[in-house]
Amino acid sequence: MKAEIITIGDEILIGQIIDTNSAFISKELNNIGVSVYQITSVQDDKAHILEAFQAAEKNVDIVIITGGLGPTKDDITKTTLAEYFDDTLEYDQAVLENIKYLWKNFVKQPLLQVNIDQSLVLSKATSLMNKSGSAPGMWLEKNNTIFISLPGVPYEMKGLMNDEVLPRISKKFKRPFILHKTLLTYGLGESVIADRIKEWESALPESIKLAYLPNLGRVRLRLSSKGFDKSVVTHEVEDQVATLIPLISDIFVGFEEQSSIEQIIGNQLTKLGKTFAVAESCTGGKIAENITAYSGASSYFKGGLVAYAMDSKTDILKVDPKLIELHSVVSNQVAESMAQNVKKLFNSDYGLATTGNAGPSKGDSEAEIGTVCIAIATPYGVFSEQFNFGKQRLRVVQKAVTMAFTLLQKEIFKKC
Amino acid sequence: MKAEIITIGDEILIGQIIDTNSAFISKELNNIGVSVYQITSVQDDKAHILEAFQAAEKNVDIVIITGGLGPTKDDITKTTLAEYFDDTLEYDQAVLENIKYLWKNFVKQPLLQVNIDQSLVLSKATSLMNKSGSAPGMWLEKNNTIFISLPGVPYEMKGLMNDEVLPRISKKFKRPFILHKTLLTYGLGESVIADRIKEWESALPESIKLAYLPNLGRVRLRLSSKGFDKSVVTHEVEDQVATLIPLISDIFVGFEEQSSIEQIIGNQLTKLGKTFAVAESCTGGKIAENITAYSGASSYFKGGLVAYAMDSKTDILKVDPKLIELHSVVSNQVAESMAQNVKKLFNSDYGLATTGNAGPSKGDSEAEIGTVCIAIATPYGVFSEQFNFGKQRLRVVQKAVTMAFTLLQKEIFKKC
C-alpha cells in the first residue's frame, strides 16, 4: 500500500508558503497503514501536472492531489484532471446545495457564477462533500490507482481527509499496521548517542528501522516497523524500546507520540496539583503561546507577563532598578528576580523567567548577542543558568524556549 | 534556468516534520532568477533516491538535495551520490580541520570516528564549508546538470545556501530577473475580488501571472513576471499594480514583500511615536510573540500580559469581578476593561485585549466555542467587537490574532 502526494501551486515553488498539508496527510495515511512513497510539488502548469499524474500512477496505489481547486483563473487542477481522465465536467446538485447553504449562512456575500461553477465535478468522479468550503473533493479510479483531489486550504483539506478520504481508504483496502515510536532525548549529540547504543543498534531485527532526528539540543530516536499483525509489530518494537531505555536513561524524557514536552510538563503539574507562571523578555510570549496551544492549560498555567520594555520589568514585575544597574538587564540576578516576582504576581507555585539579547543588535543590554538567562523559582528556592544560543534571532528565541521547558521539566520531576 | 529540490528523509514522508527547507531554498533561488520546477521528497531508500536523481537530471539545470548527511547509519545520501557519480569517498583535510575546531570550541564532547568520517566527500566534488556543523555541502556536475548536496538541519542548510550555493550559482549562470509582488487585502473573499477586478485581469499581458492566495480572512494577490531586463520587468509589474490598487483601495493594506501586518503596525507606531501593550486571554501570548518576532519591537511594544487564569484578570489586570459576573468573562465589556487596564498597567498609548473561548470545551465561560471579543483602548476611547471563529482551537486563535492586528492597524491609520 503506497501513496504519493502531489501538491499543486506556484506559491509552494516560489517559497511563498510552506507546505504543511503534506505532513498532515502523510501522518494520517501512516496511521491507517498506508506508506507515503513520495511527495511531489509542481507549479500551476498543465503539462507538468499531467506528467506528475503519469509518474505517480506507475508507482503507487493512491495519489492524493491538493490545491488548484479555487474559483479563480489560476486554478487548473479540475480541467487538468478532466483531460487526464478523458472526461467532462458536470454540475453536482448536492455540492451546489452545500455552496448555497454556506453562502447564505457564513459567507454572506453575493453568490457569483464562479461560486456556482465550484460545483462542477468530473462525471467519472465520486464527489466528496467539503463542509467548510465551496470546492468539493473528488475520488477517481484509473488502472488500479485511486486519484483523490482535495482543496489546498488546510482546514478544508483536513475536514475532507477525516470525513471522507480516510474512512473510504480504510474500507477499500486491506492495510498493514505501521508503528512509529519516538524517544525524546535532551543533552547529548546524535553521534555520541549512536556510539553509546551501537551494539543495541547492530542487534536490531531487519524489520525495525532506527532514525536519529537532531534539532536544537534535542535528539529524537525513532523506531519504525510495520506488518499485518498489530500485536506482533507492537511487541517487537516495545521489546527493543525496553532494552534501549536503560542505555539512555540519563537523557531520555518521554515519547513523542504520546506527548510533547509542553504536555509532559502539563501532565506532571496536574498530577502534583501545582501551577506555574512565566515572565518573558527575549522569548516575547512564545513560552506562554506554546503552553496555551493545548486545551486544559488553564488548570496549571496561571498566565504570563511579556516584560518587553525595561520599565515593565521594574514597574509591573517590581525588579529592583538597582539590580539591573548593578548586573545589567541580561543577568542571572535579574532573571531570578523576574522568576520570583512573576510567581508572586500570579500566585503560582513555579515561576519561569527569560531575559536575553536575541539580536540582531544589542538593544537595552551590553550582553553579547545570543546571551539568554533563564531562571526558575520553585516552592523551595530559585536558580538560574546563562546560555549563548548564537546569532540568529528566531533560533535564539526557539532554543531559549526549548531550554526553559527542559529546565522546568527537570525541576518538576525532581520533586516526585 | 530551472532547479529541482530533492529532500531526503523518512521523517518527512511519515509526517513527523514539516519540510521548511524547500520554501527557504525556493525563495532564495527565485531571488537570483532561478525557477523551481519541482520539489520532490523521498525516503531514505537508495533505489528511490537514485531514481529521483535520474528524473531530475533530465528536467533541470540544478538539483539541490537536502538531508541524509548525518553521522548515523540511517544517513545514506553520500554513499548514494557516490554510486550515482560512480565515484569514491575521500577525506577532505579542510573539512576535517573545521570539524575539529567546532568540536573543540562548541560541541565539547569527544570526537568520534563517525565525526571524523563526516569529512569524507566524493572525489569529484567541490566541498562547500559548513560553518555551523560537521556535514559539508558538495557541488558536483554531470551532463550539464549541477548537483548540490546540503545537510537537512535548517540553520546549517541556510548558512551553506547563503555562504556558498547562491554566490556560486550567481557566478556560473546568466539568470533572468524574477519579480513577485504580492498585495495584501483584508475583508473580501477571493471570488468577489476576482469578480471586481475581472476586466483588469483579462487585460493583463501574457508575461504577468496573477495568483489568488486566500487564508483565514486575508486574500493575497500575487503578480509574477520574469525577464532578462530588470527595469522592463519591474515597470510592467508596477504599471499593473498602479491600475489595480484603485480598484481595491478599500481592502488593500500593503505589500507582502515589504512588510507583514506586524511590521506595518510597527512602522506606523514608530512614525506616530506611540506604543502599545496587549492583554491576552484566548490568544495566549501569540500576539506578543508575533510582534516580538521583529527586532526593534521594543521601541513601540511595551509588553503583554497573558491573563490565562481567571484570577490573573482580576488580581493583576484589575478587571472588576462584578463586571465578569454580570457579563461573563467572554464579553465586550470585559475585553474593554482588559484593554483599558493593560494600557494603564504598561503605560502605553494603545491597549489591545482578547478574551474568548477557543475550545474544544467551554472552560471558564458559557460563551459558545469560537466566540472571541477583541477590544482596543486608544488615546481617545475604547471599543470592542465580538466574533465567532469556528470550532478548531488553533484556527480560532490564529483568526483572533489576525483580527486583532487588523483592528489595531485600522485604528492607528485612522488618526493620521
**Phi-psi domain of B187 (left: phi exceeds 0; alpha: psi -120 through 50; beta: other):** left
User: Quick one: pLDDT band at residue A363, thresholds 50, 70, 90?
Assistant: low
Is A157 a residue whose pLDDT tops 50?
yes
Separation CA A185–CA A189 (nearest Å): 10
Q: Residues in chain A, how many?
A: 416
In contact, A409 and A261? CB cutoff 8 Å = yes
* A15, A28, A278 member nearest B26 (Cβ): A15
Query: Residue B222: its chain A contacts at CB < 8 A?
Result: 10-11, 16
Note which residues in 67-126 of chain B have CB less than 8 A from chain A.
70-74, 107, 109-110, 112, 114-115
- A368: DSSP letter: P
| Contact (CB<8Å) B13/A20 | no
Query: What is the rounded average pLDDT of the residues A196-203?
Result: 95
Average pLDDT over residues A374-381: 94
Backbone angles phi, psi at B415, to 5 degrees: -85, 0
Instruction: Name chain A contacts of B42, Cβ cutoff 8 Å.
Output: 37-38
Question: Poorest-confidence range of A70-74, A254-258, A371-375, B395-399?
Answer: A254-258
Nearest CA among B270, B259, B294, B277 for reference residue B183: B259
Say whether A312 and B291 touch across the interface (CB within 8 A): no
Residue bearing cell 524547500: B22
- Picking from A29, A305, A355 by the largest number of B CB atoms within 10 A of its own CB, the best residue to mutate is A305
For residue B192, list chain A residues with Cβ-Cβ distance below 8 A: 109-110, 112
* Interface membership of A155 toward B (CB under 8 Å): yes
Residues from chain A that touch B180, judged by Cβ atoms under 8 A, are: 14, 16
The secondary structure of residue B125, as a DSSP letter, is: P
Q: Which residues of A touch B284 (CB under 8 A)?
A: 288-289, 291-293, 297
β A301-306/A276-280 pair status? parallel
How many CB pairs below 8 Å do chains A and B form together? 321
The residue ranges of DSSP E strands in B244-360, in sequence order, are 252-255, 276-280, 301-306, 350-356
The nearest CA of chain A is from the CA of B311 a distance in Å of 8
pLDDT for res A85:
97
Q: Which residue has the cell 468522479?
A: A125
Q: Between the CA of residue B149 and those of B8, B68, B406, what are the distances in Å? A: 10, 9, 42
> How far from B191 is each of A121, A136, B182, B194, B198, CA to CA, in Å?
18, 16, 17, 5, 10
Distance between CA A143 and CA A82 in Å, rounded? Answer: 16
DSSP characters for A121-175? EETTPEEE--TTSS--EEEEEETTEEEEEE-SSHHHHHHHIIIIIHHHHHHH---
The CA distance from B9 to the nearest CA of chain A, in Å, is 9
CB contact under 8 A, A72 and B359: no
CA–CA distance, B153 with B96 (Å, rounded to integer): 19
Residues of chain B falling short of pLDDT 70: 216-217, 257-259, 362-365, 414-416
How close does chain A come to B381, measured CA to CA in Å? 23
Buried-exposed string A373-402: b where 16+ CB fall within 10 A, e elsewhere: bbbbbbeeebbbebbbbeebbebbbbbbbb
Please compute, for residue A332, the number of CA atoms within 13 A of its CA located in the half-sphere on the CB side.
Answer: 7
A336, A340, A374, A334: which is closest to A354 by C-alpha?
A374
User: Do residue B71 and residue A194 have CB atoms under 8 angstroms apart?
Assistant: yes
Q: Are A340 and A382 in contact (CB under 8 A)?
A: yes
Strand order in the sheet with A276-280: A381-388, A371-378, A350-356, A276-280, A301-306, B301-306, B276-280, B350-356, B371-378, B381-388
Select from B18, B222, B278 the Cβ nearest to the Cβ of A16. B222
Locate A251 and state its grid cell: 537523557
DSSP, res A189: -
Q: How far is A212 from chain B (nearest CA, A)?
A: 7
**Residue B13 Cα, gap to closest chain A Cα (Å):** 6
- Conformational region of residue B63, where left means phi above 0, alpha means psi within -120 to 50, and beta covers everything else: beta
> Within the 212-271 window of chain B, which residues sit less than 8 Å (CB to CB) from chain A?
212-215, 222, 224
Show residues of chain B in contact with A67, CB under 8 Å: none
Query: Which residue of chain A comes nearest to B76, CA vs CA?
Result: A211
Q: Where are the beta strands (DSSP E) in A9-113?
A: 35-42, 62-66, 89-91
End-to-end Cα separation, chain A, in angstroms: 46
Q: Please, what is the average pLDDT of chain A?
A: 91
Instruction: Write the DSSP string, B167-235.
Output: HHHHHH----EEEEEEEEEESS-HHHHHHHTHHHHHTS-TT-EEEEEEETTEEEEEEEEEES-HHHHHH
CB contact under 8 A, B305 and A302: no
Confidence of residue A415 (pLDDT cuts 50, 70, 90): very low
Task: Give A-chain residues touching B25 at CB under 8 angstroms.
Answer: 15
The bridge status of strand B276-280 relative to strand B301-306 is parallel
Query: Most A CBs within 10 Å: which of B27, B28, B39, B117, as the mutation test of the A interface?
Result: B39
Q: Is B346 on the interface with A (CB under 8 A)?
A: yes
pLDDT at B107: 77
Amino acid code (one letter) for A334: V
Chain B residues with CB inside 8 Å of A114's CB?
A: 191, 194-195
A399 closest CA partner among A293, A303, A286: A286
The radius of gyration computed from the CA coordinates of chain A, to the nearest angstrom, equals 26
- Secondary structure letter of residue B274 according to DSSP: -
Nearest to B15 by CA among A407, A180, A314: A180
Which of B36, B278, B295 is opposite residue A361, by nearest beta carbon? B295
Cβ contacts of B94-100, under 8 Å, gap ≥ 24: B94/B127, B94/B129, B95/B119, B95/B121, B95/B127, B95/B129, B95/B136, B98/B129, B98/B130, B98/B131, B98/B134, B98/B136, B99/B134
All three cell numbers of A2: 503506497
Reading the block at residue B363, the C-alpha cell is 472552560
Return the C-alpha torsion angle A136, A137, A140, A144, nearest 10: -170
Assembly ipTM: 0.72
How many residues make up chain B in this entry? 416
**For the segment A244-284, what is each residue's pLDDT rounded down to a tens digit?**
999 998 888 778 765 678 888 898 898 889 999 999 999 99
pLDDT range class, residue A395, cuts 50, 70, 90: confident
Q: Quick one: what percent of chain A has pLDDT higher than 90?
A: 70
Query: Which of B286, B363, B392 lies at the smallest CB-CB distance from A289?
Result: B286
C-beta atoms of B394 and A13 within 8 A: no
Beta-carbon separation of A190 and B20 below 8 A:
no
Instruction: Kindly report the number of other CB atoms within 10 A of residue B255's CB atom.
Output: 14
Write down the pLDDT at residue B217. Answer: 65
Cα distance between residue A390 and residue A372, in whole Å: 10
Q: Omega of the bond prior to B360 within 30 degrees of 0, cis?
A: yes
Residue A360: asked if its preceding bond is cis (omega within 30°), the reply is: yes
What's the whole-number mean pLDDT along residues A297-309?
Answer: 90
pTM of the predicted protein model: 0.73
B161-188 burial: b if 16+ Cβ within 10 Å, else e: bebbbbeebeeeeebbbbbbbbbbbbeb
pLDDT at A20: 93
Give the residue from chain B lying closest to A52, CA to CA.
Answer: B38
pLDDT value of position A416: 42
User: Measured between CB atoms, does A47 come within 8 Å of chain B?
Assistant: no
- Grid cell 569514491 is found at B88
Could you tell me which residue, A401 or A218, shows the higher pLDDT? A401
Question: Where is pLDDT greater, at A362 or B177?
Answer: B177
The shortest CB-CB distance from A295 to any of B72, B347, B361 is to B361
Cell of residue B92, nine digits? 577532505
Interface test with B, best of A2, A13, A111 (most B CBs within 10 A): A13
Check if the beta carbon of residue A302 is closer than 8 Å to that of residue B309: yes
